[in-house]
Structure 1
Amino acid sequence: MKLLIVDDEPIEREGMRRILSDAFAELTIFDARNGYQAIEIAEIERPDIVLMDIMMPGINGIETLQQIQAIHPTVRGVMVTAFDTFDYARQALRLGVKEYLLKPSKRSEIIATVEAVIEQCKMEAKKLRTDQQAERLLETELVTQLLFHHVHDVQLDALMESVGIVARPAFVVVIYFPEPTEALYRQVKERVRESENAFVGALYGKQLPIIVFRREGVSYRSQAMPFVQNMIAHLRDQVGIFVGVGEEVKELAQVAVSYQQAVFALASHSQSVRFRFYEETSTQIQPLGTTNIRHKEQQFFEALDQGDWHQIEQILNEFIDQQEQHGQPLIYSQQRVLELFWIIQRALEHLGMSSQPAYLSFQSSNYRQLRAEVQGILSQVATYYTSHLGTAESNKVQIVKRYIEEHSHEELSLDRLAELVDFTPMYLSKLFKDKLGVNYIDYLTECRIQHAKQLLKDPDKSLKEISFEVGYHEPNYFSKVFKKMCGQSPSEYRKQLPIR
């Protein structure tokens, strides 16, 4: 973190620097003797915090801070002045200044003020990182939803609004990486953000889908061709990179069509060219309809709910057979199978399981090899399902157990606890007893009594106060429960405690 001290008095600057250097070893400190020099330093170093003397010759602190904020809007200012006047305070507030120091200031006041501003900067930086991460996740999720036909019109409007996108025509580019890496993925994302208004999806196996929004006043080809050529030039060191480009669609809800076209264009992958537009492909096979995709999703959900992996395997094999019979290019069929695995992933998450996504290698050279690879992946997912089903339930019971321990003083109904882990009350009651060997109400009572024992050590607390504090509204009832659990009344228990 960087801090700039601005003061026309050398002694003030040196004293402030010495105090802050001793107190904050991690702080990089610069100083300026006037407003003009401060603006020059701010333009180069971009400080996070500026300690600004208001009364300086030439250009005063308020005007200086205004110009620095024009260069670096997130900078935080701390005004330093010998004059505690309302006019200066009002101008400083308009610049977002929430801290000020009066000359002369004590060492402790200077340190406390700067420490508070540093914490504010850290909190804002953390929030910014969190917001950016959430935005990236939302963008990836939106691309997945659009490309795999899993978004309704209402959901689409809400998702687009949340990421600030207005409905407009778009086309899809799919990049094939022979050896994808996380570093390569980040490199492409940064390049795309620099050149186009676009959404970058997740890396599915060896393919990276990108939804590119159309620019006004430029034809589809005039926009798509330079984008693809620039991307190929940027990735020229990557051997085997190939790009497929789908046609323009007028509505974002139809972008899955452009995506499938881009995957078809990948099917014409050759060593002689590095990219292909869909309309240039010699194989003009139309994709199979996707109207039954939601029906298949429901089939997966029902089969997973029953743990019927034989049924899931049958659904996948029937789908692959259908693709082969219709003469679909293998790479297109691989992509569609990947979509079905993504549906299985969603179904697992619906059941409370968060497994690693299943990805195809995209290295199969025929349908026989594709069936073998799908069988292997399906076997791994089924093993995960079987081994984690009991674990998932145990984890949820532990969540309920910890919640009871932390909230035993509150009114805890079985309905409230069941909502916490998305179980039915009856199922939670049975599961709690099966996993922990005790009813939930008995465990709640045990937690309350253990808490009461700790409070009874304080002679200043009355039994009535303790009963309320541990969750009982009737002191007499609390005494009865305590005696039943401990074999003696709260008063008798207290008497035998060592005198504090």
Structure 2
Amino acid sequence: MLKLLIVDDEQIEREGLIAILRKGFPDLVMEQAKNGRAAVEMVPSYRPDLVLMDIKMPGMSGLEAVELIGSEYPDIKFIMVTAYDTFEYARKALKLGVKDYLLKPSKAGEIIETVGKALGDIERERTERKTRTQEMDALRKMLPIVEADVVTQLLFDHVHEVHLDEMVGLLGARTAKEAFVMLMMLLPGSSADAFYASVKDKMRQLGNGWVGAMSGRQIPLIVFREPEKSYRSQAASVVQQLLAVKQRVPGTDCFIGIGNPYGSFGQIRLSYREALFCSADPGLPSRHRFFEDMPPSTDLKEDTRSEKRLPEHVRFGEWDQIAAAVSGLIGRYETAGAGLVQVQQRVLESLWVVFRTLLEMGVEADRPLFSFQVQDYRQLRTEAQCLLERMKEAAQAHRSRLEPDAVHEIKRYIQEHSQEEISLETIAKRVGLSPFYISKMFKEQLGVNYIDFLTECRIEKAKTFMLDPEFSLKEIAFEVGYNDPNYFSKVFKKTTGVAPTDYRNTLLGKKV
């Protein structure tokens, strides 16, 4: 219910306005103030939506009262009422944000029209504020889901240009020119879900990074560089804060691998591979390790370049390339005459990268370990090949057992819930697989990624709604799962090649 305050030093003027306005707006709540000072004192308790303010009053003038009230309550609207039609008064009133101007005496129709226009504007603004509040609440709830999806797309190449730009925009301007990846490896026996929730809360407090979906007891973080700190000091500070989190979750332990910083989103997955590589051995005394601190060895730079691609090869089932990378690593060390103990450890680290990648894909595999100290390079090659073969068999068995049913269930779930906020993480929990693995598997079997399929489902539903003239395009956008009608129009045109308005006009025209 809207409230009006009439301020005038003449009671007959106040009563006359009330009588006129009561006929035009019977539901309007109205109160009176006999001067500017009384109005200022009355506003905090009464909180009017609109004030009809006389300009010339003894003591405090109407303009002074408007300035005082407006500074404390900027949402209150004002209409000035005066017998003085001068430019100076009008100029001052407009400067103070006054909504409109009424001259004494005014006809009843003019008063009702002016006040009605102001009340209409107030109602519209109130509705818009309510809508914005609801949208912001919905946005706050979905931001963690958007954040996890953005990290997944950036680290694992599942990039959809329209949606990625939109999602990064939703997350706000927290990004910097450089970023690096920190990969948290939860050790066996840890309280994974409770720890993951605590990590997300801590990163939200720090406000300098994004948290990806947890998979295979791995939590990837994209951390944005703070220019006032060095890379190492910033990373060490974040590590300290994250390790403090595990103290609050009993029975939890972790190891953190830290990749190098890179200057673009397109390169950030390189930092992830480095973080994965340097976290291959979580048994180190320190609970974290920088990739740049990896111990130097013969031809190390060449080794790490090929090994960085191991996670990608595992996800695409490219076992020949994996075997070639490991064999090449052994060959380079053999040529350089490196000691077998060192080479066996380096090969084991590479095999652990493969093992960790399988874990995040949801594959149950035995941890690769050499059962004995090898005596020569031939023996090392044979043992490495056997360990790789076991992991390959586990991956293939997992794939043949789960993929057909999983893709069918995912497809059906998206079709039935396309109007909701659906993320890879949501789907992963439903089918019990890794978000990263689901995206790859879905695209391999259906030829499109899950976001494109979700978009197709939404657009098809929108076309159905367009057959009913009772639905506005804005309502249709909300019904099919888009909170922003403008974004809905952009996606619709990109998908169909036609703007939604033109498509609907054609559709309804054909129907007639």
TM-score (norm 1): 0.49
> Does 1 or 2 have the higher relative contact order (CA < 8 Å, sep 6+)?
2
